[in-house]
Structure 1
Amino acid sequence: MLILTMMDMSHFNLTINLEATMKTFPRKSTIFFAMITFILLCAISQPVCAADNYSNFEPPEACIAQAKTEGVLRIYDWAEWWPEELYTGFEKKYGIKIIRDNYGSTEEMNTKFRLNPEVPYDIVSIGSGSFMLLKEFGALKKLNHEWIPNVDNYIMDDFKKTEFDPNFEYYAPLSIYITGIAYNSNIVDPNTKDLDSWKIVFEKNEFAGRMTALDDSYEAVGSALMYLGYNPNSCDEKELKEATDLLLKQKPNLIAYDAYPTRLFAEQETVLSVMWAGDVYWTAQEVPGIKLSLPREGTMMGFDSIAIAKGGKSPAAAHLFLNWIWSPENHVKLIEGIGYAPTHKATPHMLSDKVKSFPAMSLSSEYLKKCILPNYEAAVGKGRALRAKIWEKIKR
């Protein structure tokens, strides 16, 4: 049971009846509590609050001084994703030069750290599945919480201890993502049958040859498993064989496996694509008419964040940047730019109506029951090796 008590138009209390909520959400992950809190925050009509209504907590002077001495911050992340002003603003404020190297897929990033866990990056942008993998490789440093006061003051309590990082030592989730189906509403009728189902990307139809899917083994196999009625984390070899056969059947209908098919949408080479929901939001800014559909069977979900890499030479600058991103002003810029749901206590109060209206920002409690987080076995254990073999076969 969720009890919402209105105090006034800009402040309210949220009380969760834990026993009743656990009956509604039988899975152990606390992500559902945080997501519901966020949904209720966004659902209430209230004025957008200015960033200066919330304090920015600077790290200790010793951290700032050491970071300036280090002078350089090396970041490994996706290209053209976060707003550029988050990087340039940091450089201007602290006088620290940022050098970025970009990867084109999670597989590329995972492979680089598998081959060399001490790649000389200070910060790496990773999702929850890759976090578990890089932690297993020994590629990450523990957080110094004294140097990241914005994180400790503003992260929603439910995210301080996750099943991925139970002691809150390595990872501070910045946002929450889900996977959906993007389509060009100028070409694809929103009332098209099964547009709200994985069926539309796995069964041959009029969009064959004009579709793309994510270049990501976990997402590809997971979507096939969900369409077949299985858990996307399944490590059952019979179920994975069925998923493999389905992916092989799907492959001729795709023009590419592509994490960012914006150009393909713009040139109308693709009209339908499996994408991370936030990237649908981002693509829609570039290509008018791009919409998001959520598969009725359910979908995969996870966290996005940045972690501090073991091989980096600028640990203070890395912490300083993490704290910078977690300031209320910068975190809302991040969420407004990428369209993912926030884990920051202040951000929901500050989002524009445009972002609040995006489908991935207003998931119902019923749909959340169908959103599945990656688990250790699928991301790192037996399931990863099985998925790697499947992906090698699919990509031949």
Structure 2
Amino acid sequence: MKTRLVLTTAILAVTALPAFAEGVLNIYNFGLYTPPDLIEKFEKTYDVKVTLTEYDSNETAIAKIEAGGAGFDIVVPSASVVPIFIEKGLLMKSEPNQMENFKNVAPEWIDVYWDSGRHYTVPYAWGATGVMVNKDYYKGEINTLKLFFEPPEELNGKINVPPYMNDVIDMALFYVGSEPCTTDKVKLKEVRDLLVAAKPSWASIDYPSFEKFINEDLQGSIFWNGAAMRIRSENSGFTFAFPKEGYLKWQDNVGILADAKNVENAKLFLNFLMDPENAAMISNYTRYGNAILGSAPFVDPEMVTAPELQLPPENEAKSFLQVTCPPEAQELYSRIWTDVTK
């Protein structure tokens, strides 16, 4: 999931985005990431029945979509994989930059590397990937990736690593003193050996239900700051930290699939997401930032001071905006991940 930081002034004609539609819309999104009240509002506003299907990783989504026949209209890829979706011809060039509500997109989120000028996608949510640990259970230092790559005995069998190849390998590269997307085979072998040695100490490579943390079946995970805030609200022992070795910033985006059957409803949905009140609904549910001007008055005030959402300025040099790795690096990543997950 990841940050995800030429404005077009054209405004889509009112007739191109009708006030009411009918039919269906099929959304494919990360798990626990779609506000039910947002969907209910969209359905009532446009008389469109929404079906939501969830996935656990970008890799799962790409594989499912490439296989064909899934019938999805909307997908929510992370910034680092949007160029892959575009290159593979999986996204429609739907020109959200010409939609009525595009005027609400903050300027810094328009000319982005993964979709310059926003011809394919609109912003959904942005955040950071770090570590989350139950401080009531583990009393040691938590702002380090050592918890997962060289786990202490107390956390043996109690921690999770998400099934996100790039996230895990990028953070392992931080840990060994390198940087994401490297093709340095010496460093990548070090990462491979590190992860393979650490795996027996992990309880799972999964996107587990929040209840597994809340109920303390799991005591920690490489995790996302907004999701960590949601878990803390149910179990105050869980604390999120930005690892001293480095952390990832990201943005997730919403696009229309090239083979979408309900294109007009999908365009309505993209425009709907760029409304400030609707963007705030996403933030209030996911606990992540959004990229829509005017949404702040509708966002839960608790988010303004939440520790999980305060990116540490003293650690800014250790943050990395997750990008699309070149093919050579991606191939090396895939080989490592195969060894780790087999």
Cα separation, 1, equivalents of 2:308 and 2:235: 18
2:20 corresponds to 1:106: no
The letter of the residue matching 1:240 is L
- Counterparts of 1:54-73 in structure 2 under 5 Å? 60-64=14-18, 68-69=21-22, 71-73=23-25
1:134 is aligned to 85
The alpha carbon displacement at 1:253 in A equals 0.8
How far apart in 2 are the matches of 1:334 and 1:86? 7
SS in 2 for 1:131: helix
Please report how far the alpha carbon of residue 155 of structure 1 lies from its aligned counterpart in structure 2 after TM superposition: 1.0
Superposition RMSD on alpha carbons, in Å? 2.3
Q: Distance in 2 between matches of 1:139 and 1:285?
A: 37
Once the two structures are aligned, what percentage of the paired residues are identical?
A: 24
Q: Structure 1 residue 146: deviation in Å?
A: 6.9
Which residue of 156, 160, 165 corresponds with 2:106? 156
The equivalent of 2:144 in structure 1 is 197
Cα distance, 1:388 vs. partner?
1.4
Which secondary structure does the structure 2 equivalent of 1:377 belong to?
A: coil
Is the contact made by 1:75 and 1:100 (CA closer than 8 Å) also made in structure 2?
yes
Contact 1:110–1:130 (8 Å) recurs in 2: no
In the aligned structure 1, how far is the partner of 2:208 from the partner of 2:18? 36
- Shift, 1:231, TM fit: 0.5
> Per-residue CA shift, 1:227-260, capped at 9, x if unaligned?
1111122222221111111101110110001223
**How far apart are 1:119 and its partner, in Å?**
4.8
**Aligned position for 1:300:** 248
Q: Amino acid of the residue matched to residue 123 of structure 2?
A: P
- Matched AA of 2:273: I
Give the paired residue count.
334
Task: Measure how far apart 1:188 and its partner are.
Answer: 2.6
Letter of the 2:264 counterpart: A
* CA–CA distance in structure 1, aligned partners of residues 74 and 61 of structure 2: 12
Distance 1:170 1:374 in 2: 19
Q: CA offset at residue 81 of structure 1?
A: 2.0
User: TM-score scaled by structure 1?
Assistant: 0.78
Shift of 1:105: 2.5
- For structure 1, the residue ranges without an aligned partner over 5 or more in a row are 1-28, 32-56
> Which residue type is aligned with residue 97 of structure 1?
K
Deviations 1:38-69 (A, max 9, x none): xxxxxxxxxxxxxxxxxxx997233226x725
For each residue in 1:244-286, what CA deviation from the matched residue of structure 2 results, as whole angstroms up to 9, or x when unmatched?
1110111011000122342321332211111122211222234
For 1:90-101, list aligned pairs within 5 A: 90-101=42-53
Structure 2 equivalent of residue 373 of structure 1: 321
Report the residue type matching 2:117 in the other structure: N
Alpha-carbon spacing, 1:132–1:286, altered in 2? closer, same or farther (3 Å): farther
**Aligned match for 1:122, one of 73, 85, 90:** 73
Amino acid at match of 1:141: M
Cα distance between partner residues in 2 of 1:98 and 1:124? 13
Partner Cα separation in structure 2 for residue 352 and residue 30 of structure 1? 22
> Structure 2: 5+ residue runs without aligned partners?
6-10
**Letter aligned with residue 384 of structure 1:** Q
Cα shift at 1:111:
1.3
Is the Cα contact below 8 Å between 1:324 and 1:330 reproduced in 2?
Answer: yes
- CA 1:300–1:123: 2 relative to 1, 3 Å: same
Structure 2 length normalisation: TM-score? 0.90
Looking at structure 2, the residues matched to 157 and 383 of structure 1 have their Cα atoms a distance apart, in angstroms, of: 31
Query: Residues 19-98 of structure 1: matches in 2 within 5 Å?
Result: 31=5, 60-64=14-18, 68-69=21-22, 71-98=23-50
- Distance in structure 2 (CA, Å) of the matches to 1:225 and 1:146: 36
Task: Return closer, same or farther for 1:285/1:83 CA change in 2, 3 Å cut-off.
Answer: farther
Structure (1 or 2) with the larger CA radius of gyration = 1
